[in-house]
Amino acid sequence: MSNPTEEQMELDQQVKRASGKRTRRSFLAAALAATGGYELYRWIDQSNGDQRIPKPLRKAINFDTDVAKAVFDDRGLSPTYPRSQAIPLRTNGDFGLKTLIEPENYRLQVAGVANPKKYAQYMNDVTAWDYKFAEPKPGGPGVGASNKEAPKAPMPKAFEDALAAMKKAQGGKRPRGQEESGESDTGLDPGTPGLLLTMDDVLKLPRHELITEFKCIEGWSQITQWAGLRLKDFIEAYPPERNEKGELPKYVYMETPDGDYYCGFDLRVCQHPQSLLATEMMGQPLSHYQGAPLRLHMPIKYGYKQIKRIGLIAYTDDKPDDYWTKLGYDWYAGL
């Protein structure tokens, strides 16, 4: 591992100071929670088996989110743990993982980068990359998905019909957004220029390890050891383009290569020192269902934001779509 730069050390110091503040503020949060918001949240969380949140309640959640955001500030550090407490994370959720991609056909699309043409990996249309999606083979990965715990709902007939029509219209090309939430509203338009990075490119960035707790909104959590690279370092290596006013884009958007799962984040959350583009778990390369070759681990957010098998990282000023937000979950999902 390379030595941290001075800038990185200063950032870490800042985060540590902010964490102290956060702990003190947590008492305030507890007090607020005691007034009822937390009870309501637990009730919503536990009441409906299929995890759908009725619309009127989403309003209440959004209110709680504002409170949480004001109180918990994104800059706090999640606690870290000794290796002896870490266990392999169970796999949960296989959206965007139902096809296979040979390692040599994998690329990371990057859009919204400043001066993209200066990079050797520049492409005038990153969406044209052909991942050569393969159907899973019997007995191999992609069969018998281990997503027993994942929230799911039966696919409505109308959705199945629409999917069939879409497949036909696209003349054989795999349609994007084949799960219940459908296609993202903020995916790239065909013809979007950017970079197509290989895993070799990605792995040139400094290796970083993290032993942190992973929390799923369904009520389980696990301490796991991760390794990969800081998303912050990635953003520094491939910085976003600024607007005419010189401002950075507000958001980062990520998708699986098939567009079936997608997540959006505030840019500053991606610059958090514990936001990790993970390539390994518990000292092993990620398996298919763990999100190989590249997934997100973001201990300051719930599990559903921690997208597995990232195919696109895009900087944008449009608030990005999010798979579970479409089904009623909170976009912010902060812890």
Ligand X SMILES: Nc1nc2c(c(=O)[nH]1)N[C@H]1C(S)=C(S)[C@@H](COP(=O)(O)O)O[C@H]1N2
Residues that bind Mo ion (CB under 5 A): 216, 303-304
The distance of Cα 45 from the centroid of its chain, to the nearest Å, equals 21
Helix ranges restricted to H, the chain = 6-32, 38-47, 55-72, 157-169, 199-202, 231-237, 267-270
Minimum CB separation of residue 187 from ligand X in Å reads 14
CB neighbour list of residue 200: distance below 8 Å, 6 or more residues apart = none
Minimum CB separation of residue 322 from ligand X in Å reads 11
Minimum CB separation of residue 112 from ligand X in Å reads 21
Binding status of residue 96 toward ligand X by CB under 6 A: yes
Q: Identify what 307 binds: ligand X, Mo ion, none; CB under 5 to 8 Å per kind.
A: ligand X
Q: Identify what 179 binds: ligand X, Mo ion, none; CB under 5 to 8 Å per kind.
A: none
User: Using CB under 6 A, which residues numbered 204 to 233 contact ligand X?
Assistant: 216
Closer Cβ to ligand X, 94 or 330, answer by number: 94
Closer Cβ to ligand X, 91 or 279, answer by number: 91
Place of tokens 């895009």: 314
Residue 216 CA to residue 304 CA, distance in Å, equals 7
Minimum CB separation of residue 240 from Mo ion in Å reads 28
Closer Cβ to Mo ion, 11 or 335, answer by number: 335
Task: Tell me which of 22, 77, 95, 233 binds ligand X, using CB under 6 A.
Answer: 95
How many other C-beta atoms are found inside a 10 Å radius of the C-beta of residue 260? 26
Task: Tell me which of 233, 309, 311, 316 binds ligand X, using CB under 6 A.
Answer: 309
Site string for ligand X, 19-58 (x = CB under 6 A): ----------------------------------------
Binding status of residue 90 toward ligand X by CB under 6 A: yes
User: Using CB under 6 A, which residues numbered 103 to 162 contact ligand X?
Assistant: 150
Minimum CB separation of residue 303 from Mo ion in Å reads 4
Closer Cβ to ligand X, 89 or 270, answer by number: 89
Residue 195 CA to residue 275 CA, distance in Å, equals 21
- State the DSSP string of 193-242: -EEEE-HHHHTTSPPEEEEEEEE-TTS-EEEEEEEEEEHHHHHHHSPBPP
Of 268, 249, 240, 263, give the one whose Cα is nearest residue 317. 249
DSSP letter (8 states) at residue 274: T
In the numeric block, which tokens belong to residue 244?
A: 């005419």
In the numeric block, which tokens belong to residue 91?
A: 């796999």
Minimum CB separation of residue 41 from Mo ion in Å reads 16
User: Using CB under 6 A, which residues numbered 257 to 276 contact ligand X?
Assistant: 261
Binding status of residue 303 toward ligand X by CB under 6 A: yes
Contact indicator for 258, 183 with CB cutoff of 8 Å: no
Minimum CB separation of residue 225 from Mo ion in Å reads 19
Binding status of residue 91 toward ligand X by CB under 6 A: yes
Residue 153 CA to residue 52 CA, distance in Å, equals 9
Closer Cβ to ligand X, 97 or 195, answer by number: 97
Binding status of residue 286 toward ligand X by CB under 6 A: no
CB neighbour list of residue 253: distance below 8 Å, 6 or more residues apart = 186, 262, 263, 264, 265, 312, 313, 314, 315, 316, 320, 321
Taking CB under 6 A as the binding criterion, the range among 63-71, 85-93, 111-119, 199-207 that sits at the site for ligand X is 85-93
Size of site (CB under 6 A) for ligand X: 20
Contact indicator for 223, 87 with CB cutoff of 8 Å: yes
Binding status of residue 181 toward ligand X by CB under 6 A: no
Contact residues toward ligand X (CB under 6 A) are 89-97, 150, 216, 256, 261, 290, 303-304, 306-309
